Chains A and B, each alone.
Chain A
Amino acid sequence: MHTIPKIVINSGKEKVLTIQRFTLEEGDSLLLQNENPEGKTLFLRGLYRFLQNSRRRREKLIEKGDVFLWDIRRDKIYSKGNREAILLEYQPAIIPEMTLNQNILLPMKGMNIRLKHKLIDYLRTFGLTMKQFSPGRNLSFSEMKIVELIRAVLLLPELILIDDFDLSYHKNLHDRIFEMFSLVRKNGTIIIATCKSANPFFTRNFSIKGKEVFEI
């Protein structure tokens, strides 16, 4: 179980967003639904930034009941890696010079047979087998997003944070993606996504009201 303390996101002295304390169970799937563009990405970034702290520091913060403050102007969120949580922003994180396979294997330290089979399986599911050796620059936006998703799923992190789920993935792909998510959720991975409209796949729903995120 993960406990997320109250997170307050500031921009200088101005308060931008507050995320109320909540807990996450293994295999949970959360959706932050909001029609307005503001706050959704910030919610995911705030969570991601909190999870970048060491486990010890996080536990200390939760034990003391402190608020996690994050100033978005000062802090870079990608200054170091985080294998516990992977944030998939709207812009795909792909290196154009590398092939599809190289892009997927980028963060992996090694490749075992199990991983190889899974990769082949996922590529086949999304019809990307023929593009394994195509450079990243030749992939469409949708394909790039799928590559990014497969990479995240293969790493089996504790949390996968997906920004603008409905905009990033075409409706036709949703079933296949949810099938993949169901498999990783069995392994305990928590899926948190932001979306404009509701989706029955997600078991818990959050919303933003008056610069505050709360569970519905």
Chain B
Amino acid sequence: MKPALILTFILLICLIVFSLADFLLLEQYENLVTRIESLPVILFSSNFSLLHNLMNELEDEPVVTSLEIERNIEILDKMIKEYDLPAAEQILDIDSLPNMLEFRLEGELITEKGYSELKERFEREGSDITLISQDIELSDLFELKQMLLLTRKAILAGIIIILSIVTFVTGAMVIRRSNYYWHIYYRSGGTKKRFRSYLLNLLLGTILSLSLLAIIFYLVDYYLQMSYEFELRYWILFGLVIFIPGLLAWCLTERS
């Protein structure tokens, strides 16, 4: 029981530190995604059917959302109403005004490469289409997003390595320190299986640390409204990352 508690305590601290770092990164990532989604991409063209065909094609694209198409006459009406310019209708030539297709990017899915491909596709349509977007800001945001994703992966890899080392070292230490106990135990006529006892402690340490983490998540969400939780695959991954090095520690230490 004691080894399980030691293991639980160490693992829990590691997992809390990781969760906190991941939570802060996720918050930044979500802010970035919102910022990307708030920037409109506008296409102008005098050829309405061309824009309409493009809209139909873009509707199937997962990286594009909030598609809106407007004819030049609608744009003109809007302008006149909005800026109160009734005289403009007589002065302006309706054919000189372009039609407009506006859309947003799906912040979660879009990448710099995906956006470049989208732009190339519009360029292929010829000079009839004019693209207006905040390219510099978008490029910065994509770069930042990529960096955050990489940092998150690095932190995940780090915690996997740390958890493996911690479990391995704790396991090996517990085995070595309990050698004398088990020697005396068997000499005195005890018949419990040492491996079974170790396995039980390892399982208990794994389940207990993950359960406590789940409880902490629940309490933090309940009292501080900080909604954060692991996906199921992370729970399984951490379970394995704790359990497998523990078994490895047994195989390497007990035999030596």
Given contacts A81-B185, A106-B185, A107-B185, whether A95 and B190 have CB atoms under 8 Å apart is no
**Is B234 part of the binding interface, using a Cβ–Cβ cutoff of 8 Å?**
no
A-facing residues in B181-205 (Cβ within 8 Å): 181, 183-192
Q: What secondary structure prevails in chain A residues at the interface with B?
A: loop
Query: Which listed residue, A82, A89, A93, A95, touches B191 by the CB 8 Å rule?
Result: A82
B189→A81 contact, CB < 8 A: yes
Contact B189 A79 (CB under 8 A): no
Q: Does chain B have a CB within 8 A of A80?
A: yes
Is A152 in contact with B189, judged by CB distance below 8 angstroms? yes
A87 and B180 form a contact (CB under 8 A):
no
Among A61-112, those with CB < 8 Å from B are: 78-83, 86-87, 89, 93-95, 106-107
Whether A145 sits at the interface, judged by CB under 8 Å, is no
In the bound complex, what is the Cα–Cα distance between A80 and B189 (angstroms)? Answer: 9
Q: Which of B189, B190, B191 has the most C-beta atoms of chain A within 10 angstroms of its own C-beta?
A: B189
Decide: B191 and A106 in contact? CB cutoff 8 A: no
Contact A94 B184 (CB under 8 A): yes
CB contacts (< 8 Å) of A78 on chain B: these are 183, 186-187
Please name all residues of chain B whose beta carbon is closer than 8 Å to the beta carbon of A86 when the two chains form the complex: 188-189
- Whether, in the assembled complex, A40 has its beta carbon less than 8 Å from a beta carbon of chain B, the answer is no
CA distance A81 to B187 in the complex (A): 7
Which single residue of chain A is at the shortest CB-CB distance from B190?
Answer: A107
Asked if A42 CB lies within 8 Å of chain B CBs, one says no
C-alpha spacing A103/B190, complex, angstroms: 12
**Bound: A148/B188 CA distance, A:** 7
A135 within 8 A of B: no
Q: Which of A79, A106, A155 has the most CB of B within 10 A?
A: A106
Looking at the assembled complex, report how far the CB atom of B191 sits from the nearest CB atom of chain A, in whole angstroms.
Answer: 4
Residues of B within 8 A of A81 (CB): 185-186, 189-192
State A155–B189 Cα separation when bound (angstroms). Answer: 8
A151 within 8 A of B: yes
Contact B187 A87 (CB under 8 A): yes
Considering the complex, give the chain B residue whose CB is closest to the CB of A52: B186
Given A95-B180, A95-B181, do A79 and B188 touch, yes or no (CB 8 Å)? no
Chain B residues touching A, majority SS:
helix
Q: In the docked arrangement, what's the CA distance between A56 and B189, Å? A: 20
Q: Does A157 contact B (CB under 8 A)?
A: yes
A107 to B184, CA, bound (A): 9
When chains A and B are docked, how far (Å) is the Cα of A148 from the Cα of B185? 11
Given contacts A78-B183, A95-B181, are A151 and B188 in contact (CB under 8 A)? yes
Closest residue of B by beta carbon distance from A156: B189
Report the separation of the CA atoms of residues A166 and B181 in the bound assembly, to the nearest whole angstrom: 27
Q: Given that A95-B180, A95-B181 are known contacts, is A80 also in contact with B186, CB under 8 Å in the complex? A: yes
**A95 x B184 contact (CB < 8 A):** yes
Chain B positions within 8 Å of A82 at CB level: 186, 189, 191
Closest approach, in angstroms, between the C-beta of A148 and any C-beta of chain B? 7
Question: How far does the Cβ of B218 sit from chain A's closest Cβ, in whole Å?
Answer: 38
B180 to A, closest residue via Cβ: A95
Q: Nearest Cβ distance between residue A151 and chain B, in whole angstroms?
A: 6
In A122-177, which residues have CB < 8 Å from any B CB?
A: 148, 151-152, 155, 157
By a CB distance below 8 angstroms, the chain A residues around B189 are 81-83, 86, 107, 151-152, 155, 157
Which residues of chain A are within 8 angstroms of B187 by Cβ–Cβ distance? 78, 87, 89, 93
CA distance A79 to B186 in the complex (A): 7
Which interface residue of B185, B188, B191 has the most chain A CB atoms within 10 A?
B188
Instruction: List the B residue with the shortest CB-CB distance to A93.
Output: B187
Question: How close is B205's CB to chain A, nearest CB, in angstroms?
Answer: 22
Smallest CB–CB gap between A161 and chain B, Å? 11
Q: How far is the CA of A157 from the CA of B185 in the complex (A)?
A: 15
A-B contacts, 13 of them at CB < 8 A, read A78-B183, A78-B187, A81-B189, A81-B190, A81-B192, A86-B189, A87-B187, A95-B181, A106-B185, A106-B190, A107-B188, A148-B188, A151-B189
